[in-house]
């Protein structure tokens, strides 16, 4: 395949669903070979097969993101199948609700294991190989919740804030190897995780979920939630030559969610482009 990323190889954690899948598809469309990681092996292999059917090179691998064996195996797969690894997109994550009292120690540990330790493990095993690439890049999927927060998302917000700090630290450390490290902070994105969250805030019907997603969309200046493809395109940009001098940055892909104050002026009609 031809494209800005032709000849490069990417590992995408959480690549079988949501933003991760959007990233895998966007990178493949730019010519990259992709290793699609997912919790479920069959699902990861199915997504990889669908990407390969479009003409790209793709392979799937499964296993828990917070397991060192899983991440070591994913990097070994890149080395054995392609002989290189140029990009890592750390996208796997979970959402749990609660404040400091209602969040149980087990829930806190679960979120930190997946959302923070999972990123560390992916970077730990991937970076030695990425450092050999002349165009190494790492993109961490954080969240606007790392900048500002809703109520009842303590563990998720803490984890995403940690990812912003990890991005800065790794960007400084990896600059010596020519590896760029950035994060993105999406707003609401139409993913299975967001739909599951919406179902918790309504009667659980398809109509109820669509209503909640539409309501959440109005909080964004653009008047809607994002698609995984739109966030994937931003990830592909950060991996590509157009971002060659960008490292240690966080790109807010949030449709203006964090740009607009919550309280409109009295009588000021909000207009939407949706």
Q: Which phi and psi (to 5°) does residue 217 adopt?
A: -60, -35
Rounded CA-CA distance 87/133 in Å is: 9
Whether 270 contacts 232, CB under 8 Å: no
Strands 9-13 and 33-38, by their bridges, are: parallel
Counting runs of H as helices and runs of E as strands, what totals does the chain give? 9, 7
In the Cβ-directed half-sphere of 205, how many Cα atoms lie within 13 Å? Answer: 4
Q: Is 125 a catalytic residue?
A: no
Residue with tokens 């918790």: 200
Give me the phi and psi of 245, to 5 degrees please: -115, 25
Burial zone of 205 (CB within 10 Å; 0-12 exposed, 13-18 middle, 19+ buried): exposed
Helix, strand, coil abundance in the chain, percent, nearest 5: 45, 15, 40
The catalytic residue among 97, 120, 156, 177 is: 156
* Token reading at 242: 């157009």
User: What contacts 58, CB < 8 A, 6 or more positions away?
Assistant: 24, 28, 33, 34, 35, 36, 47, 48, 49, 51, 52
Known catalytic residues are: 156
């Amino acid at each position: 395949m031809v494209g800005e990323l032709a000849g490069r190889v990417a590992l995408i954690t959480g690549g079988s669903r949501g933003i991760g899948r959007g990233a895998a598809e966007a990178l493949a469309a730019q010519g990259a070979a992709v290793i699609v990681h997912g919790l479920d092996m069959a699902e990861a292999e199915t997504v990889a097969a669908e990407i390969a059917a479009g003409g790209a090179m793709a392979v799937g691998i499964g296993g828990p993101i917070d397991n060192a064996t899983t991440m070591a195996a994913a990097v070994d797969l890149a080395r054995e199948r392609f002989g290189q690894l140029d990009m890592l997109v750390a996208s796997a994550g979970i959402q749990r609700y609660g404040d400091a009292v209602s969040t149980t120690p087990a829930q806190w540990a679960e979120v930190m294991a997946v959302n923070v330790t999972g990123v560390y493990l992916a970077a730990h095993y991937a970076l030695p190989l990425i450092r050999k690439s002349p165009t190494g890049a790492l993109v961490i999927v954080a969240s606007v919740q790392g900048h500002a927060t809703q109520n009842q998302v303590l563990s998720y917000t803490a984890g995403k804030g940690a990812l912003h700090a990890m991005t800065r630290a790794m960007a400084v450390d990896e600059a010596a190897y020519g590896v760029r490290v950035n994060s993105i902070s999406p707003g609401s994105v139409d993913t299975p995780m967001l739909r599951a969250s919406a179902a918790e805030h309504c009667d659980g019907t398809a109509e109820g979920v669509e209503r909640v997603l539409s309501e959440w969309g109005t909080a964004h200046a653009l008047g809607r939630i994002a698609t995984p493809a739109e966030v994937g395109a931003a990830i592909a940009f950060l991996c590509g030559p157009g971002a060659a001098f960008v490292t240690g940055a966080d790109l807010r892909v949030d449709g203006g969610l964090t740009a607009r104050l919550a309280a409109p002026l009295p009588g000021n009609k909000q207009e939407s482009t949706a």
